[in-house]
Structure 1
Amino acid sequence: MSPRMSAGERREMAIKAAMAEFARGGYEGTSTAAIAERVGVSQPYMFRLFPTKRALFLAAADRCFADLEDLLRDAAGGLRGKDATIAMADAYRRTLREDPDILRFQLQLYAAAVEDEEISRIGHARWARLWRLIADVSGVKPAEVTRFMSIGMLINVLTAFKVPYVPGEMELPESLRDWAESLRGADLDTTATVPEEES
């Protein structure tokens, strides 16, 4: 690592590395040593940048939402109404395809927030900001913001479960209906196999 790199630049690298590592291992399953190795610094140096693993996770959570805001704002690019929401939705779907860690880390955040009050508070505040951003840049009514965010969460689920779909106001419901119908009667064993006890 370059000796001229500032502490701020190293913090930035640490946050990005943390997002990638936490995306795969979650909070409990990720070590600061793994994050430090990804950054190329020692673990003691990592603790100079962030005093605890928790502080690093919270910084990564905040950055995840900030990145989503930047993505949507840039995608709207001055468009208004439905044109803006379509552009933002397209950008979000493209990002999920190109960088799966974005979705993985979001899912880790949601899971952690169920049990962790501080993470829940961050999510609470950042979802409010995300809501305001979508409303402000697009100018659409609250019902349309609700629809936009609801479909975004649906897209997260569809992406995680590798469900095929066709985007679009009319196409998405039709494609999901066709997909669900195509599995009707399919012999899918979704139960775990439990070995029988030996007598």
Structure 2
Amino acid sequence: MVRMSAEERRESVIRAAMTEFARGGYRGTSTEVIARRVGVSQPYLFRLFKSKEELFLVVARRCVAEARQRMTEAADGLEPHEAHDAMAEAYKQLLADPDTLLLQMQVYVAVASAEATGDHAFGAEVRAMWEELWDALHLALGADVGQTTEFLAFGMLINVLASLGYPQGHRVWEGFDIVPCPKPSAD
């Protein structure tokens, strides 16, 4: 049997936590379940991560960073109108994994819940992550606020429709054939 290094074990815990938090949410997922999934004790998990909140924030950062990386890599070297389409396709591929969508939605729920109970620090960390995503996409889309807002608005609508389980081909998806995409002017 090959022993894992602490860093390999930490990565294993993060991957397991991504799945468990996606399916059960922050409040509905116990660290005991995560530890069991990886095959470590709960005290060992807390040697790797100081708290459940720290683990969740690491998972949230990974989720947002992966979306940012996939989309910015797809847009690399492209003009804004081409970047728009490439990033939309990259996001669509990212959401092919149902846990990815669930985790994104669980992050939003966790922040809203924390804010409702007065825990503003938790939300501040996640908002900082999301601002990094917004900034990266904004640059890829030619630093056009309208295009960035529209792109992210369509992305959020996709999240909601997919979360609600609307199958492809349902009438609520029809408008996505006409997603505005900025084209270079004829000037």
Same fold (TM over 0.5): yes
Q: In the alignment, what sits opposite 1:133?
A: 136
Q: In the alignment, what sits opposite 2:76?
A: 77
Question: Is the contact between residue 31 and residue 52 of structure 2 (CA under 8 Å) also seen in structure 1?
Answer: yes
Q: In the alignment, what sits opposite 1:109?
A: 107
* Residue deviations 1:148-199 (CA, integer Å, cap 9, x gap): 0100000001111123325745179xxxxxxxxxxxxxxxxxxxxxxxxxxx
Q: In the alignment, what sits opposite 1:2?
A: 2
Question: Is the contact between residue 67 and residue 94 of structure 2 (CA under 8 Å) also seen in structure 1?
Answer: no
What is the rounded CA distance, in whole Å, between the counterparts of 1:16 and 1:118 in structure 2?
Answer: 24
Return structure 1 stretches of 4+ with deviation > 4 angstroms. 166-169
Change beyond 3 A, Cα 1:46–1:2: farther
Structure 2: which amino acid aligns with 1:155?
I
What is the rounded CA distance, in whole Å, between the counterparts of 2:145 and 2:98 in structure 1?
Answer: 29
1:147 aligns with 2:147: no
Change beyond 3 A, Cα 1:13–1:146: same
What is the rounded CA distance, in whole Å, between the counterparts of 1:169 and 1:45 in structure 2?
Answer: 50
Question: Is the contact between residue 57 and residue 126 of structure 2 (CA under 8 Å) also seen in structure 1?
Answer: no
Question: Is the contact between residue 82 and residue 140 of structure 1 (CA under 8 Å) also seen in structure 2?
Answer: no
Structure 1: which amino acid aligns with 2:160?
V
Question: Is the contact between residue 23 and residue 103 of structure 2 (CA under 8 Å) also seen in structure 1?
Answer: yes
Q: How does 1:1-199 map to 2 (within 5 A)?
A: 2-3=2-3, 5-97=4-96, 99-116=97-114, 117-163=120-166, 164=170, 165-166=173-174, 168=176, 170=178
- How far is the alpha carbon of 1:84 from its aligned partner? 0.6
Question: Is the contact between residue 72 and residue 91 of structure 1 (CA under 8 Å) also seen in structure 2?
Answer: yes
TM-score for the superposition, normalised by structure 2: 0.83
Change beyond 3 A, Cα 1:166–1:16: farther
1:114 alignment partner, SS class? helix
- Count of residue pairs the alignment pairs up: 170
**Relative contact order (alpha carbons < 8 A, sep ≥ 6): 1 or 2 greater?**
2
Select between 149-158 and 119-128 the one with higher mean Cα deviation: 119-128
Question: Is the contact between residue 79 and residue 138 of structure 1 (CA under 8 Å) also seen in structure 2?
Answer: no
TM-score for the superposition, normalised by structure 1: 0.78
Question: Is the contact between residue 62 and residue 122 of structure 1 (CA under 8 Å) also seen in structure 2?
Answer: no
Q: Calculate percent identity across the aligned residue pairs.
A: 46
Q: RMSD between aligned alpha carbons?
A: 1.9
- Give 5+ residue unaligned stretches, structure 2: 115-119, 181-187
What is the rounded CA distance, in whole Å, between the counterparts of 2:179 and 2:104 in structure 1?
Answer: 26
Question: Is the contact between residue 23 and residue 101 of structure 1 (CA under 8 Å) also seen in structure 2?
Answer: yes
- How far is the alpha carbon of 1:51 from its aligned partner? 2.0
Structure 2: which amino acid aligns with 1:72?
M
- Give 5+ residue unaligned stretches, structure 1: 173-199
Structure 2: which amino acid aligns with 1:69?
R
Greater share of residues in helix: 2
